[in-house]
Chain A
Amino acid sequence: MTAPSLEIVNLSVAFGSDRARVQAVDNAGFRVAPGESFGIIGESGSGKSTILRAISGLNDEYDGSVLIDGRAAPRPRNKAFFKNVQMVFQDPYSSLHPRRMIRATLMEPLEIHRFDRRDERIAQALSDVGLAPEFAYRYPHQLSGGQRQRVAVARALLLEPRIMLLDEPTSALDVSVQAGVLNLLNTLRLSRGLTYVMVSHDLRVIAHMCSRIAVMTQGRIVEELSADDLRSQNAEQDYTRELITASRVALAAE
């Protein structure tokens, strides 16, 4: 494997203190090569989103290390880190500021990082995610869920990051809309050489999007396998097999 773009070593996250302490992530570790798409699958409470929040710096209280290109990510995260690593959230209905025009939302990262040619970049970012330039002048409530998620992707892309963290980016969308957003994410990754870390509870989505997949349950990564293994149900751990079976057929007993 080439030098990893992102590496997680012995990552542990705990919430609460003393008796109410919950170990949300327990000694997790993985490496993601440049241009690779790495998936984390797990059920609710498995700690998969907590890992993303720790990587992004939204939650700074973690043990272990997050390495970007071999160097530990600064704590707290600085602007240079955010320029490199961006995130797309699960629910496009809550990840865009409801009272700000799309243009203002997209302008913000450019202002913070002092980019030039701002209007040009916004128009380009919108067209990259398949939206007409007029969308800049709308408010979030005037957009559909799929359009909002495209705007959220455009916002993440404006800083030209190399690593994208995707937190269930399509679970709030209809399947027909999901297809378009997943295609877009795949195209963007290939054309820009982006590295993805994607979290999902949906086996279909994760197998389609990622080449390697970590299976998480109760805060631990129990197994790491390839998408082909996942499709051919070639899993070592019982939990992984159970997850695959449950996702393939609706009725466990039938």
Chain B
Amino acid sequence: MSEPLLEVKNLRVAYPSAHGYSDALRGISFALGREKLGIVGESGSGKSTAGRAVMRLLPPKARVTADAMQLSGVDLLNASERKMRDIRGGRIAMVLQDPRYALNPLKTVESQIVESCRIHTRASRSEARDRALAMLEDVRIRDPQRVARLYPHELSGGMGQRVMIAMMLIPSPELVIADEPTSALDVTVRGQILDILNERVEAQGAGLIFISHDLPLVGDFCDRVLVMYGGQVMEELAAHELARATHPYTRALNASLPPLDRRVEELIVPEHDPEWLSERRA
């Protein structure tokens, strides 16, 4: 691995609550090169919070602290809001779960991609248009000229997600954060979208953080995986070892999934051990 693209050390996020602060992230650390890092966990594990914290997209009332949070030398934790606006969408891009909510319903596909391109690069309008069409082709849209003129509601789920990927990747970001990018899609479309995401990220030499609740999916798609629970990283391991994980939580998650290759009478319901949350504090 070359020098890390993103380095996060002891990231903590807390929200004010009735009794002081409640922790959403309790000190997570990871480093990311030009690779695909999966973050898996169940709802409330803090996986989405981690992604948003890196982009500094958390609500202002959240208290964010970290020993370090750097994107190839830029201190993300203390960067000004103005600087963050350049970084967001420019150097870090985010692909969200549902393109229906993430795309502007009143603008055509083309104008959204062109806008995304022109905000972050010095391309002229016609140059940006050419690049937008090329980008649509890169995300395997067969008829980019036609699709470019459509509005988001005229797109199917898979098509919408391709447009979103095109829009997010056109300024050539160094880091792409994908938060459940395929959860709203049908399984038969999911493979193509992951393929496209993989291809674009590799072609541009970017790093990818892939946030998902789907263990087998992350195991197949990513290089490395962080397993999160209760705002902490339970385990970090190579993706292909996910099926042979050692941490009891990861094993329990694996076991709770109905198997596809054999019949079982009863599924194993994970027991959550409070020990998992205390071990790292000590």
| Residues of A bordering B, CB below 8 Å | 43-44, 145, 174-180, 182-183, 186, 201, 203-205, 207-209, 227-228, 231, 242-243, 246-254
Which residues of the other chain, A, contact B264 by a CB distance below 8 angstroms?
Answer: 208
Contact B268 A179 (CB under 8 A): yes
Contact B157 A44 (CB under 8 A): yes
Minimum Cβ distance to chain B for residue A149 (Å) = 14
Some 18 contacts from A to B, beta carbons below 8 A apart, are A174-B42, A175-B215, A175-B256, A176-B42, A176-B256, A203-B260, A207-B258, A208-B263, A209-B258, A227-B263, A242-B188, A246-B191, A247-B260, A250-B221, A251-B195, A252-B191, A253-B191, A254-B220
Which residues of the other chain, A, contact B260 by a CB distance below 8 angstroms?
Answer: 203-204, 207, 231, 247-248
* Residue in B186, B263, B268 whose CB lies within 8 Å of A231: B263
- Interface contacts beyond A250-B214, A250-B221, A254-B220: sample of 13 additional A-B pairs, CB < 8 Å, sorted by A: A145-B43, A175-B253, A179-B258, A183-B266, A201-B186, A208-B267, A231-B260, A231-B261, A246-B188, A249-B191, A250-B194, A250-B217, A251-B220
Kindly list the 8 A-B residue pairs having the minimum CB-CB distance in the complex, ordered from nearest. A252-B191, A208-B258, A250-B220, A43-B186, A179-B256, A179-B267, A174-B42, A176-B270
Which residues of the other chain, A, contact B270 by a CB distance below 8 angstroms?
Answer: 176, 179
B105 adjacent to chain A (CB < 8 Å):
no
Which residues of the other chain, B, contact A183 by a CB distance below 8 angstroms?
Answer: 266-267, 269
Assembled-state Cα–Cα distance A228/B262 (Å): 8
Which residues of the other chain, B, contact A228 by a CB distance below 8 angstroms?
Answer: 263
Size of interface on B: residues with Cβ below 8 Å to A: 36
Assembled-state Cα–Cα distance A209/B258 (Å): 9
Assembled-state Cα–Cα distance A186/B269 (Å): 14
Which residues of the other chain, B, contact A248 by a CB distance below 8 angstroms?
Answer: 260
Assembled-state Cα–Cα distance A174/B188 (Å): 22
Assembled-state Cα–Cα distance A135/B270 (Å): 22
Most chain B beta-carbon contacts within 10 A, residue among A175, A228, A253: A175
Which residues of the other chain, A, contact B213 by a CB distance below 8 angstroms?
Answer: 174-175
Which residues of the other chain, A, contact B269 by a CB distance below 8 angstroms?
Answer: 176, 179-180, 183
Contact B188 A243 (CB under 8 A): yes
Assembled-state Cα–Cα distance A84/B166 (Å): 51
* Residue in B186, B252, B262 whose CB lies within 8 Å of A44: B186
Which residues of the other chain, A, contact B186 by a CB distance below 8 angstroms?
Answer: 43-44, 201
Which residues of the other chain, A, contact B42 by a CB distance below 8 angstroms?
Answer: 174-177
Assembled-state Cα–Cα distance A177/B42 (Å): 10
Minimum Cβ distance to chain A for residue B239 (Å) = 11
B282 adjacent to chain A (CB < 8 Å):
no
Contact B257 A251 (CB under 8 A): no
With contacts A250-B216, A251-B191, A253-B191 taken as known, whether A204 is within 8 angstroms of B263 at the C-beta atoms is no
B192 adjacent to chain A (CB < 8 Å):
yes
Assembled-state Cα–Cα distance A248/B198 (Å): 18
Contact A243 B187 (CB under 8 A): yes
Contact B198 A205 (CB under 8 A): no
Which residues of the other chain, B, contact A246 by a CB distance below 8 angstroms?
Answer: 187-188, 190-191
Name the residue on B nearest A178 (C-beta).
B256
Assembled-state Cα–Cα distance A207/B263 (Å): 8
Minimum Cβ distance to chain A for residue B278 (Å) = 20
Name the residue on B nearest A41 (C-beta).
B187
Contact B258 A204 (CB under 8 A): yes
Which residues of the other chain, B, contact A174 by a CB distance below 8 angstroms?
Answer: 42-43, 213
1/0 per residue, CB under 8 A from A, across B218-246: the answer is 01110000000000000000000000000
Minimum Cβ distance to chain A for residue B153 (Å) = 15
Which residues of the other chain, A, contact B195 by a CB distance below 8 angstroms?
Answer: 251-253
Name the residue on A nearest B192 (C-beta).
A252
Minimum Cβ distance to chain B for residue A250 (Å) = 4
Which residues of the other chain, A, contact B221 by a CB distance below 8 angstroms?
Answer: 250-251
Assembled-state Cα–Cα distance A191/B121 (Å): 65
B73 adjacent to chain A (CB < 8 Å):
no
1/0 per residue, CB under 8 A from A, across B178-213: the answer is 000000001110111011001000000000000001
B20 adjacent to chain A (CB < 8 Å):
no
Which residues of the other chain, A, contact B191 by a CB distance below 8 angstroms?
Answer: 246, 249-253
Name the residue on B nearest A145 (C-beta).
B43
Most chain B beta-carbon contacts within 10 A, residue among A44, A145, A186, A205: A44
B259 adjacent to chain A (CB < 8 Å):
yes
Minimum Cβ distance to chain B for residue A213 (Å) = 13
